Amino acid sequence: MLMDTPDEMLANAAAGGDRAAFATLVGRHYDRIHGLAWRLTGAKDQAEDLTQDICAALPSKLRNWRGEAKFTTWLYRVVVNAAHDLRRRQQTRSRASQGWGDWELARQDEIAVQAEAQDWLAQAMTQLSPELRDTVALVLGEEMTQAEAGTVLGVSEGTIAWRMSEVKKRLRAMAREDAK
Amino acid sequence: MSDDLDDLRAALKAATAPDGEAKARAMRLAMENFARLNDSLQGSTDASRSSEDRTKAAPLNGVRRMFQYLTSRPALAATTSVAALLLGVAVILPVADLRIGKPVVVETNESPVAKKAEPVVEPAVKPEVAATTETVAADVPAGGEGAALTDAATQPGADAAPKPEAKVDASDELARATETDAASSAVVAEPLPEAEAPVLEMAEEALPAAPVEGIIADTELRLRAEAPADAGGVAGYLTAPSVSMPDAMPAPIENTEAYANEAPNPVKVTAEEPVSTFSIDVDTASYAVVRSSLSGGYLPTADQVRIEEMVNYFPYAYAAPEGDAAFASTVSVMPTPWNPGTRLVTIGIQGALPEVTARPPLNLVFLIDTSGSMEDANKLPLLKQSLSLMLSELRPEDQVSIVTYAGSAGLVLPPVKAADRAAIMASLDNLAAGGSTAGAEGLELACQVAEGMKADGEVTRILLATDGDFNVGVSDPDGLEAYVAKKRETGTYLSVLGFGRGNLDDAIMQSLAQNGNGTAAYIDTLSEARKVLVDQLTGALFPIADDVKIQVEWNPATVAEYRLIGYETRALRREDFNNDAVDAGEIGAGTQVTAIYEVTAPGSDALLNDSLRYGQTSAYGDTMGELGFLRLRWKAPGEDVSTLVETPITGTEGASAETRFAAAIAGFGQLLQGSVYLGDWGWDQAIDLAVQNRGEDAFGYRIEAVNLMRLAQSLSAQ
């Protein structure tokens, strides 16, 4: 019966301390979390770590579940924010160990190395700004509508539309570069 | 276009299936935490702690706004120095700027849900900060000292917050964190180069060390360990000062500008291709783009340089047309400054300046891009200033309307008389940037409004002000141009004003203006706005001749080779010259258009092509000595049939300071393009030529060009 219960009811129950409901909820959405984490980070190991962290934090997160949005929307938001934090931490860590200039040089080197080593997707994704990457992951990867993606990212639908057109622009520019 | 996205979609869809073991591990951890949390919640008062964050955060809202404002600034230098400052602060006072930095991060879509979780996890990462900011971490041998140190650091942070209880909370939490687990603090104080995995492990290791603390302490510890995963939580707080910069910095660097340009015109052999045909170009955008690049301290790229637009930026004192003629052409021939073996033939066209007092009433529709990207100081705010400058030049009976486009298009100001300055200014002031760009819809609405304003004998023009984003809602850019072209036939003109850099879609601007019978101008400063909108108001807004085409037939007996300098994007097919259905540029009232050819006489050392063994040069009778024959075609505004004006180029027309200055600017443009035709001729010569031929230069445009040349010289010497 739990299997048929809607996410939102499960989340309410889990927030109220229902262990079975929580287990069902996490089991049901683990793959989804992992999928988005992979699309946002672009690396399997990072996606796994990120997913684990999210799962571990989910009990406390659920205490803030108010049922104001669809559960999946809420969950996507949690994942996107966690991915943002991961990016930030990675950046700080490398920055704290080196000076500002060194960090920038290292970053440029890293970009160059990455660009060579990784495949087209990684290249395409690294050339997009984090905002565009998030948008692409949600709209193309998760097949959300622009409105849904806007809700998750906390921006307007129009902004998502603008970002997607930016993505197209970048991709076209990349295609031109490749053609050269 | 959608092919690109399909590839990306397919690649994204091919996500690797999650690892079963990892899933089991994550699920187990989730369940453990769930159990701990719910056990500890029974009888615990901690649940309400999220509200503390609210009260603590509230006094800092002002600071947050300040930082949001700061980061939205375009100036890269500014943000970088802020970054440096904040980074410095971060090292000394890790806790203090948690709060300052946080707001910067907020703009990256953190959900309120995520924020509420912060206080629970906050203390845990403080030691980690100490670790990552090495200066502090280095001398922390044990948790006790670490606590003291961090504690001290807390004070300024707490002082910064007006509410005293914030201070208490912060140090209180900190104290608990360190007391609970001195060992873990010590562990954390070591530099942690790796990802959050060690943090989690550390927490697990720490567990046995503090079993006596009981379930509640245990729970908190685990929660802290999870902190890194906690969205918008600790990491946001801690790393914000330095981390926010990468978020903020790429914005000004990111560049999606697109420029319309072709490779410079090659040298043509007259015997093979005696006729050169092109449309006039009254745009000036390229010069302003070049100026904006040079003033920014970098050389423009070759594709940003359109020589004809640079040359046409300047007013020239050509002979005015006589009688009722719409314009007069002035031809002059002079030795080429950069090549003694060739001559420059300059064709100057001067539009008639009808009595200003007799000008027809003007209907203006401002079509204003208010997309999010227009927020920069040099975009929407400059646009508002520019348009208000222009308002004072309008007559009371002129009509003005404002349409905006961004997300959804809207009529901001229904047509009003220009005399109603207050209403127009109020509407302008209320414009705010936000949303994306729905250019096509906006354009359609503007056309509708323009239709409604039209009356016999009046000139109706849409002034599109944009930073170049014109893509959303336009599935087919060609379709948009076709639409503009169709509207042009109804008598509505379209001019494009470009603002800001970084996003400038010069190509679309160009093609819209070309198809819409208008000018494309780039406005980077208020004085440029004055030049475009005030000084040249009449010319920019009142066309006196449509579809002006130039065709020059060179005489192979006197000109063996020729090269048109600039006008690459305006080339026409030879047969299109006589085809009135083919669109070309317009000349506005009182404006000048200049075209420059470099021609080489037969037998000259400067010839680049060998002559043909079997080429034939027939006799030309009376026309033998002529260099060529200039044909001009134009239509009176609104007419369908063109008029032809023909003038022989005899080669004896003298040069003037005006044409020499034009040559200097053409040289400037070619230097920027790295042209192969200039030989040893360089910046010094270009500057000399321009300085000597400055002429009256009442507005100082020419001396500005000289200064730009000097700037370019220094920059290219680097």
Tell me the backbone φ, ψ of residue B629, rounded to 5 degrees.
Answer: -135, 120
- Say if residue B190 is in the same domain as residue B72: yes
- Is there a contact between B24 and B30 (Cβ–Cβ < 8 Å)? no
Structural domains of chain A, with CATH: 1-97 (1.10.1740.10), 128-180 (1.10.10)
Closest chain B CA to residue A44: B16
- Is there a contact between B546 and B262 (Cβ–Cβ < 8 Å)? no
- Say if residue B58 is in the same domain as residue B199: yes
- Is there a contact between B686 and B667 (Cβ–Cβ < 8 Å)? yes
- Say if residue B458 is in the same domain as residue B596: no
Please tell me the predicted confidence (pLDDT) of residue B537: 67
- Asked whether the beta carbons of residue B239 and residue A130 sit closer than 8 angstroms, the reply is no
- Is there a contact between B595 and B564 (Cβ–Cβ < 8 Å)? yes
Which of A93, A121, A171 to mutate: most B Cβ within 10 Å?
A93
Domain that residue B214 falls in: 43-252
- Asked whether the beta carbons of residue A93 and residue B192 sit closer than 8 angstroms, the reply is yes
Question: Can you tell me the distance from the alpha carbon of B522 to that of B99, in angstroms, rounded to the nearest whole number?
Answer: 41
* CATH number of the domain encompassing residue B367: 3.40.50.410
- Say if residue B488 is in the same domain as residue B373: yes
Element (H, E) at A132: helix A130-136
Q: How far is A146 from chain B (nearest CA, A)?
A: 12
Q: How far is B503 from chain A (nearest CA, A)?
A: 10
- Say if residue B365 is in the same domain as residue B450: yes
Tell me the backbone φ, ψ of residue B548, rounded to 5 degrees.
Answer: -85, 120
In a domain, B411, yes or no: yes
Q: Would you state the structure tokens that stand for residue B681, as one six-digit string?
A: 């001729």
- Say if residue B207 is in the same domain as residue B281: no
Q: Choose among A54, A172, A173: nearest Cβ to B229.
A: A54
- Say if residue B346 is in the same domain as residue B398: no
In a domain, B404, yes or no: yes
Prediction pTM value:
0.47
Q: How far is A115 from chain B (nearest CA, A)?
A: 16
Chain B contact set for A153 (CB, 8 A): 109
Q: Which residue, B286, B279, B276, is CA-closest to B311?
A: B286
Question: Can you tell me the distance from the alpha carbon of B453 to that of B362, in angstroms, rounded to the nearest whole number?
Answer: 10
Which of A32, A68, A88, A166 to mutate: most B Cβ within 10 Å?
A88
Chain A contact set for B8 (CB, 8 A): 121, 124, 136, 140, 167, 171
Q: Choose among A30, A84, A90: nearest Cβ to B26.
A: A30
Q: Which residue, B448, B515, B436, is CA-closest to B480?
A: B515
pLDDT digits (tens, 9 = 90+) for B374-405: 777 778 888 888 888 788 778 888 889 988 87
- Say if residue B105 is in the same domain as residue B186: yes
Q: Where are the alpha helices (DSSP H) in B210-297?
A: 214-226, 234-248, 250-253, 285-295
What angle, 0 to 180 degrees and rounded to 10, lies between the N-to-C axes of helices B285-295 and B701-717?
A: 50
| Distances in whole angstroms, Cα of residue B184 to Cα of each of B94, B140, B200, B202, B208 | 19, 12, 11, 7, 11
- Asked whether the beta carbons of residue A57 and residue B192 sit closer than 8 angstroms, the reply is no
Element (H, E) at B341: strand B339-351
In a domain, B18, yes or no: no
Tokens 């475009």 correspond to what residue?
A: B532
- Say if residue B555 is in the same domain as residue B658: yes
Catalogue the long-range contacts made by B126-130 (C-beta closer than 8 Å, 24 or more residues apart).
B126/B94, B126/B95, B126/B150, B126/B174, B126/B177, B126/B238, B127/B177, B127/B178, B127/B184, B127/B185, B127/B188, B127/B189, B128/B188, B128/B192, B128/B199, B128/B238, B129/B94, B129/B95, B129/B98, B129/B238, B130/B94, B130/B188, B130/B189
Give the residue-averaged pLDDT of A76-88. 83
Does A68 have pLDDT greater than 70? yes
Confidence of residue B139 (pLDDT cuts 50, 70, 90): very low
Does B71 have pLDDT greater than 70? no
Residues in chain B, total = 718
Please tell me the predicted confidence (pLDDT) of residue B83: 47
- Say if residue B708 is in the same domain as residue B605: yes
Chain B contact set for A130 (CB, 8 A): 108, 247
Rounded to the nearest integer, the mean pLDDT of chain B is 69
What does the CA dihedral B386, B392, B397, B399 come to, rounded to 10 degrees? 10
Closest chain B CA to residue A94: B193
Total domain count for chain B? 3
Does B619 have pLDDT greater than 80? no
In a domain, B4, yes or no: no
In a domain, B577, yes or no: yes
pLDDT digits (tens, 9 = 90+) for B13-65: 665 566 778 788 888 888 888 888 777 655 444 433 433 334 444 444 444 54
- Say if residue B368 is in the same domain as residue B510: yes
Chain B contact set for A93 (CB, 8 A): 132, 192-193
Which of B80, B113, B259 to mutate: most A Cβ within 10 Å?
B113
In a domain, B616, yes or no: no
Element (H, E) at B585: strand B585-588
Write down the ipTM of this complex.
0.73
Confidence of residue B230 (pLDDT cuts 50, 70, 90): very low
CB proximity under 8 Å: A 45-64 to B: 46, 48-61, 63-64
Q: How far is B672 from chain A (nearest CA, A)?
A: 23
Give the residue-averaged pLDDT of B537-553. 79
* CATH number of the domain encompassing residue B313: 2.60.40.1230
Closest chain B CA to residue A127: B254
Please tell me the predicted confidence (pLDDT) of residue B683: 93
Question: Can you tell me the distance from the alpha carbon of B70 to that of B326, in angstroms, rounded to the nearest whole number?
Answer: 52
- Asked whether the beta carbons of residue B9 and residue A141 sit closer than 8 angstroms, the reply is yes
- Say if residue B398 is in the same domain as residue B492: yes
